[in-house]
Amino acid sequence: MRGALSLAVILAAGVVWQAAAVAIDSPFFPPLLDVLGRARENWLSGPVSALFLTQAVADDVLPSLVRAVGGWALASVIGIVLGVLLGMVRGLDSYLMPLLEFMRAIPPPVLIPLFLILFGATETMRISFVAFAVMWPILLNTITGVQAVEPTQLQAGIIFRLSARQRLMQIVLPSALPYIFTGLRIGLSLGLILMVISEMVAGVNGVGYGILTAQRSFDILNVWAGIILLGLMGYALSVGLQYAESRLLRWHRGSKKRSV
C-alpha cells in the first residue's frame, strides 16, 4: 500500500511538472517528457548487448558513483575506527571535541583549493576531498554512540569475563550501530553533494561536470536530465543503505518494541 501511494505521488508530481512547463512555455523549464527523452538518449539508447546503456554511462555516471561511494566508504572506515577509539577512552573527547567540532564547521567547498594544491586535479584529489568532508558526521556520531553504551552492559561483560575484543564486538558496536548509521546516512547525502562540487570545480568528466558543461552551452535539457539523474543516484544509494540498516538493526527495533 505504501509503495502504491509513493508511486502515485511521483506520478502526480510528474503530471504537475509536465502541465506547468507546457503552460509556462519557458525555455528554462522544459516539459518532463522532453527531459526524460533526453535522459534516455544520453544514457539508455545503447545496444542490446550493453543492456541499452550508452558509453556516457561508463564515461560519466560510473566515475561519479566511484567518487561519491569511494569517498564515503573511505570516510566510513576512518570515522568509525577513530570514533570507536575516541569514544572508548573516557575523558579524551573533552580535549579533542573542540578541535573536531572546529574541523566539522569548516565549509567543505572552501577546502577545494587546498586539495588542488596537495593533489592536483586528479582522482585522488576528488575522492580524498569527499572522504575528508564526509568523515566528520560519521566520526562524531560514532563517538556519541560508543559513549551512549550503558555502563551496566559493560560491567556485565566484565563479570562474564569477556575479553576487550569481545566486549567491543558484542556490546559496544551493536549498541552504537543506530548512531553510526545516522552518521552514515548524513555522510552519504553529503558525499553526493561534494562529488558534484568537486567535478564542477576540478573535473574532466562525471555528472556534475556534464551539468556545468551543459549550463555553459545553454543546453537546458541536459542540465535538467543531469539533475534528475543525480536525484535517482541519491535515491538508489539511500535505499541501499536503508536496506542494510534494516537488516543489521532488526534486533534493535525488536528490542524497542518489547520494551514498550
pLDDT at residue 226, as a whole number: 97
Q: CA dist 225 to 6, 41, 138, Å?
A: 22, 10, 31
pLDDT at residue 252, as a whole number: 61
Q: Quick check: 175 pLDDT over 70?
A: yes
pLDDT at residue 207, as a whole number: 96
CA–CA distance, 227 with 225 (Å, rounded to integer): 5
**DSSP class of residue 58?**
I
* Helix (H/G/I), strand (E/B), else coil: 10: helix
> Which of the following CATH numbers is that of domain 58-204: 3.30.450.20, 1.10.287.110, 1.10.3720.10, 3.40.50.300?
1.10.3720.10
* Cβ atoms of residues 169 and 163 within 8 Å: no
Q: Quick check: 260 pLDDT over 60?
A: no
Query: When comparing pLDDT for 31 and 173, which is higher?
Result: 31
CA–CA distance, 79 with 140 (Å, rounded to integer): 8
* Cβ atoms of residues 135 and 75 within 8 Å: yes
pLDDT at residue 94, as a whole number: 76
Q: Quick check: 185 pLDDT over 60?
A: yes
Rg of the chain, C-alpha, whole Å: 22
Task: Cell numbers for 111, please give them.
Answer: 577546502
Mean per-residue pLDDT of the chain: 90
Domain ranges of the chain: 58-204
pLDDT at residue 7, as a whole number: 85
Task: Cell numbers for 179, please give them.
Answer: 548512531
